[in-house]
Structure 1
Amino acid sequence: MKKSLLGVASAIALSSSAMAQDIAAGKVAFNQCVACHSVDGNNGAGPSLKGIDGRKAGSFPGFRYSRAMKSASVNWNTQTLDTYLTDPQKLVPGNVMPFSGVADAKQRADLVAYLSSLK
């Protein structure tokens, strides 16, 4: 019994480390976002994502958000960013971001880690 529990614990640890977030890989994944979003505080076609972790959706200064995003009751954190990047229309129906989402869970986790690192 102890051996089987140890085996399960080892398998969980290995799968968790395989899914560990990689900020450098997230920065590479962000290349699909740079056409609209910056990370330096300047808005483009989309709002800057600098300091997004902990920010209320639809609140970056100087960007003209959709009504859906301005009225969304979402505060950005690792969980809400992951949910949004999975399917933007599901979390904030009616938002105008022309992006269908990131299907790959590892790539999404890396991207969220990168976004969360932007202060």
Structure 2
Amino acid sequence: MTHFPICARRRSILAAMALLAAGLPAAGRAADATRGADLFDNYCGECHTTRAGGGSRSAPNLFGLMGRRTGTVEGFAYSDANRAAGWVWSPETLDTYLAAPKTAMPGTVMKFQGVKDPAERADIIAFLATLHG
């Protein structure tokens, strides 16, 4: 069998097809912060709060999360892994973390297994991005 190199355009098309097959949102799908608020309540609301000036529960308050360094909410007892990660929360870091927290940040004590659906993660991230003063 002869193997021919795949041109860049075809490689891009194949990559896009693979992403769609994996269930990722189609290009151009806008994230929905309103849906994200509902998803947040379902997935995250038991442990996290989101009110400005609100306290923490068993997990830190996420108001003002975007642009904040990991492990820095005053008075919350973070895991060593979270304090040491040194990440700055952004849509990209959140997407990686929310997909599989224990894989993204080995040593985290967060019990949540992750949000498998990329569209749901995008909506949750869009909601979190609205939480700023």
Normalising by the smaller structure, the TM-score range is 0.7 to 0.9
- Give 1 or 2: higher helix fraction: 1
Structure 1 residue 20: deviation in Å? 1.1
Q: Is 1:54 matched up with 2:54?
A: no
2:40 is matched with 30
TM-score scaled to structure 2, two decimals? Answer: 0.76
Aligned to 1:83: 96
Give 1:56 deviation, angstroms.
0.2
- Partner Cα separation in structure 2 for residue 53 and residue 75 of structure 1: 8
Q: How many residues align?
A: 105
Q: Deviations over 1:80-115 (max 9, x none)?
A: 001000010122111000001000010010001101
Gaps spanning 5+ residues in structure 1: where?
A: 1-7, 9-14
Identity of aligned residues (%): 40
Runs of 5+ consecutive residues of structure 2 not aligned to the other structure: 1-12, 14-25
Deviation by residue 1:20-55 (Cα, 9 ceiling, x = unmatched): 100000001001211100001311100000000000
Question: Helix, strand or coil: the match of 2:27?
Answer: helix
Aligned CA RMSD, in angstroms, stands at 1.3
Counterpart of 1:65 in structure 2 is 78
